[in-house]
């Protein structure tokens, strides 16, 4: 019994060679949250093992890491994260990794937050073309870690870029002619939809745990009445209470718009592309798009 306990403890500590995947010959990739994991899985295919640090159902903004997950970062060949989005992952990367750390924020052109030019919006994956940029950079890093398969990583990134370009065209076409342009959402995760002509009015700030003031809510109610907005959007990984209350008070619908920051039980069979398509359908309905 005592020996088993020691073995279990050793397996959680760095420097013990305890991770079984080390012997698989695959490139070990650690990712901060779901869209980054999706890119790593598509570009790496069967040549990589992707460990996503945000567990299904968890909200990634306020992620905390277990000791084992800190070890995962330390041992990874490639860490894909977005600096500033998950402070715990930033701290894990700062403690050091044997491999390379690829910061999505250095690869993708992040947009400033409306009205706050010094703050950048981290939710870039709502623009499929920006996500394709990240796929290129992931292919480069995987090719450096595993030069024998460089051509495969490049080809996989090209396939993903084609899917993402098609998705971008679907959004552009689907949202080209809408009765309304304003979208009321739960937290401010959808600013990148501005490229398709939408104006996003979030109930809370860039992070889901920011609290709106009564004045914020009164202003939103006025806006919803003035513009004839039909729907208040909530999201999967945080409580829909605020959105439901706002919608209920005004007698309009509430519906889900997924920030795609992580999967949950309800979306376990989905992937990034299918969730983006579901979002598009929900936006078309809410905004009267033809």
Q: Which is nearer to Zn ion, 99 or 208 (CB)?
A: 208
Q: Which is nearer to Zn ion, 92 or 208 (CB)?
A: 208
Shortest Å, Cβ 22 to Zn ion: 33
Shortest Å, Cβ 82 to Zn ion: 11
Shortest Å, Cβ 189 to Zn ion: 4
Shortest Å, Cβ 182 to Zn ion: 19
3-class secondary structure, 260: coil
Shortest Å, Cβ 104 to Zn ion: 14
Q: Which is nearer to Zn ion, 143 or 262 (CB)?
A: 262
Shortest Å, Cβ 216 to Zn ion: 18
Q: Which is nearer to Zn ion, 42 or 236 (CB)?
A: 236
SS3 content of the chain, % helix, strand, coil (to 5): 50, 15, 35
Q: Residues 168 to 227: which contact Zn ion by CB under 5 A?
A: 189
Q: Which is nearer to Zn ion, 32 or 143 (CB)?
A: 32
- Quick check: 260 and 234 in contact, CB under 8 A? no
Shortest Å, Cβ 116 to Zn ion: 15
Which three-class secondary structure string do you get for 5-74? HHHHHHCCCCCCCCCHHHHCCCEEEEECCHHHHHHHHHHHHHHEEEEECCCCCCCCCCCCCCHHHHHHHH
C-alpha–C-alpha distance, residues 139 and 102, integer Å: 11
Measured between alpha carbons, how far is residue 255 from residues 191, 218, 230, 233 in Å?
18, 20, 10, 5
Q: Which is nearer to Zn ion, 145 or 189 (CB)?
A: 189
Closest CA to 32 of 109, 110, 120, 97: 97
C-alpha–C-alpha distance, residues 254 and 121, integer Å: 25
Count residues binding Zn ion (CB under 5 A): 1
Q: Which is nearer to Zn ion, 85 or 153 (CB)?
A: 85
Shortest Å, Cβ 260 to Zn ion: 10
- Name the strand (E) or helix (H) holding 193: none
3-class secondary structure, 231: strand
Q: How many CB atoms lie within 10 A of CB 227?
A: 15
Task: Indicate whether 237 belongs to the interface with Zn ion (CB under 5 A).
Answer: no
C-alpha–C-alpha distance, residues 151 and 129, integer Å: 21
Q: Which is nearer to Zn ion, 160 or 189 (CB)?
A: 189
Tell me the residue number closest to Zn ion, measured at CB. Answer: 189
3-class secondary structure, 268: coil
Q: Residues 268 to 287: which contact Zn ion by CB under 5 A?
A: none
Name the residues that contact Zn ion, by CB under 5 A.
189
């Amino acid at each position: 019994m005592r020996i088993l306990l020691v073995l279990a403890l050793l397996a959680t500590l760095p420097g013990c060679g305890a991770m079984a995947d080390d012997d698989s010959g695959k490139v070990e990739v650690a990712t901060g949250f779901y869209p980054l994991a999706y890119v790593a899985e598509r570009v790496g295919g069967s040549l990589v093992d992707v460990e996503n640090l945000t567990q299904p159902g968890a909200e990634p903004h306020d992620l905390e890491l277990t000791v084992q997950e800190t070890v995962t970062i330390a041992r990874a060949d490639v860490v894909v994260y977005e600096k500033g989005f998950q402070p715990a992952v930033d701290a894990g990367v700062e403690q050091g990794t044997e491999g390379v750390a690829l910061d999505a924020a250095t690869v993708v052109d992040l947009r400033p937050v409306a009205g706050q030019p010094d703050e950048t919006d981290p939710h870039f994956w709502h623009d499929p073309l920006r996500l394709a940029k990240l796929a290129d950079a992931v292919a480069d890093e995987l090719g450096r870690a595993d030069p024998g398969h460089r051509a495969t990583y490049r080809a996989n990134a090209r396939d993903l870029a084609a899917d993402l370009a098609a998705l971008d065209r679907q959004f552009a076409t689907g949202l080209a002619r809408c009765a309304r342009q304003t979208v009321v959402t739960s937290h401010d995760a959808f600013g990148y939809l501005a490229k398709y002509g939408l104006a996003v009015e979030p109930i809370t700030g860039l992070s889901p745990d920011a609290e709106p003031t009564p004045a914020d809510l009164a202003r939103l109610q006025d806006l919803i009445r003035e513009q004839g907005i039909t729907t208040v959007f909530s999201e999967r990984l945080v409580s829909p209470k605020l959105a439901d209350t706002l919608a209920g008070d005004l007698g309009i619908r509430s519906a889900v718009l997924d920030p795609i920051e992580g999967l949950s039980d309800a979306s376990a069979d989905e992937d990034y592309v299918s969730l983006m398509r579901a979002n598009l359908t929900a936006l078309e309905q809410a905004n009267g798009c033809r």
